[in-house]
Amino acid sequence: MPLKAASLPNSVPRDIDRKDQIASSREKHRAIRVTAATSFRLTLACLAPTLVHSNFDEQITFAAHRTHRFSYNYIDTMNILVVGNGGREHALAWKLRQSARADRVFVAPGNAGTALDAENVDIPATDVKGLLAFAKQNKIEFTVVGPEAALAVGLVDALQKEGLRAFGPSKAASELETSKVFCKNLLRHADVTTADYRVFRDARAANNYLTNRDDTPVVIKADGLAAGKGVFVCDNREQALDAIERIGIQKEFGDAGNQIVIEERLHGQEASVLAITDGHTIITMPACQDHKRARDGDRGPNTGGMGAYCPTPLVTDQMLASVEERILVPTIHQMKRSRRPFRGILYAGLMVTNQGIEVLEYNVRFGDPECQPLLMRLQSDLLDLLEATADGRLDEVAPPVWDTRPAVCVVMASEGYPGAYERGQPVRGLDEAAKVPDVKVFHAGTKMKDGNVVTDGGRVFGVTALGSSISAAKLQAYTAVKCIRFSGAWCRKDISDKALTYNA
């Protein structure tokens, strides 16, 4: 007989087989019990009606999570390796370094910022053999894999095969991000709402499809990884045909364009919901809002992200509960049924429409720049969360504690980004920016040259600030932005302004 939430107000059922247990939480943490049934039923202690999803084949009952923090009998410090060189990895290294259990924190390959907050290692993020050798030689006890490219080549699998603990999904599970075709098909099988779509293996067939249909707005996507630039939001057929030319004929994104997805274009506001899961328990983080387009007012080409803020008032508590129950949990179950059990960060890119919330895409790692405002607000020990996830005991960790203040991250970019740009521009004003209260400048595309910081990427900095309100956090972030100078520097001026319209 399933245990109800009310029957165990301060604990998690212990007589449940761990492989059949899922837990869900927003800023509160709940455990979910799963039993075989012909329908999907969610029973919440705080929710009177029962929600039934007739097309889902498991019954899920929420129970209250214990409220005390998991504690260690002694402090056992460890060496940690963070893989990657962007703003996300700088934020991860900075936050992990704050743990009482962190001894040395290495970043491979890192950037000029991680060199200050950790120790850089000159090994590329996708050099699996090199990273394995380094981890063994330097007694790395825990590795955190940041970028999708490293997950795609199976770095987590390789580390685990050698008996080394690592945070992140397997290569097979990472296909949820590395293949948009796989993702769309999985969403369909999981009965998760997403835009209608068609898949094409060659540009000619895609062109014929567009030519023989009504001239309506669509979204064109390269199937594989393209650093956030392989998605084209098209207003008309001409733009769509041009996108197919770039993806399928010019091969602008290489093999990532071997398959092309043509989607119905959804209209609404985008939001990002990130959750951490070990496959049995899920902790959902506060919702963020990214700014993908290059220019103010959401104009210009797509980028890897020009800024983000957290939390966003666009996503209410009720909506976040719906995302957990109707999107995240079914996705995790479907991954398990597909024999690709998921463990790591599950990042849902969402469109909030007048008809409801639909999934645009999944990422399988911390978003960049969403990671920066999230970790600025996180007050709990990040190492505890990541390590428990990797070990399959996330249910033993207390729910994360968040700073009540919102955070805003503004990305400073090189001239020409997301197109061609120059590297090696000297940077000035970082010391001045660091003096602005409640601000952290996370480096993304930087390196050291002759003792000086120079640009080394399209997105150069993620200037992140806390404030008593979203407007106050924005003011602090842009105050620090004005301190930083390099040739060709630019940024959007409207990061977080949408939040004011949601509160209106």
Q: pLDDT tens digit string along 353-375?
A: 999 999 999 999 999 999 999 99
For the chain, give every residue range classified as CATH 3.30.1490.20. 196-262
**pLDDT score for 53:** 34
pLDDT above 60 for 44? no
Element (H, E) at 416: none
Average pLDDT over residues 30-50: 31
Q: Which two tokens stand for residue 477?
A: 């972030």
How confident is the prediction for the chain on average, in pLDDT? 87
**pLDDT score for 74:** 58
**pLDDT score for 228:** 75
For the chain, give every residue range classified as CATH 3.90.600.10. 405-504
pLDDT above 80 for 135? yes
Count helices and strands in the chain by DSSP H and E runs = 16, 27
The residue among 426, 439, 420, 451 whose CA lies nearest residue 481 is: 439
Q: Is domain 405-504 classified as CATH 3.90.600.10?
A: yes
Q: How far apart are CA 295 and CA 277, in angstroms?
A: 34
Q: What is the CATH number of domain 78-171?
A: 3.40.50.20
Crossing angle of helices 203-211 and 237-244, rounded to 10°: 170
Taking CA atoms, 480 is separated from 114, 306, 466, in Å, by 19, 16, 12
Q: How far is CA 301 from the centre of its chain?
A: 21
Q: How far is CA 40 from the centre of its chain?
A: 27
Q: How far is CA 452 from the centre of its chain?
A: 31
For the chain, give every residue range classified as CATH 3.40.50.20. 78-171
Confidence of residue 504 (pLDDT cuts 50, 70, 90): low
Beta strands of 314-367 (E only): which ranges? 344-353, 356-363
pLDDT tens for 294-324 read 999 999 998 999 999 999 999 999 999 999 9
Q: Collapsing DSSP states into helix, strand and coil, what is residue 51?
A: strand
Question: Which one has a higher pLDDT value, 23 or 471?
Answer: 471
Average pLDDT over residues 163-183: 97
Q: Which two tokens stand for residue 258?
A: 């071997």
pTM of the model: 0.85
Class of domain 196-262: alpha beta
Question: Which one has a higher pLDDT value, 284 or 43?
Answer: 284
Are the beta carbons of 196 and 264 closer than 8 angstroms?
yes
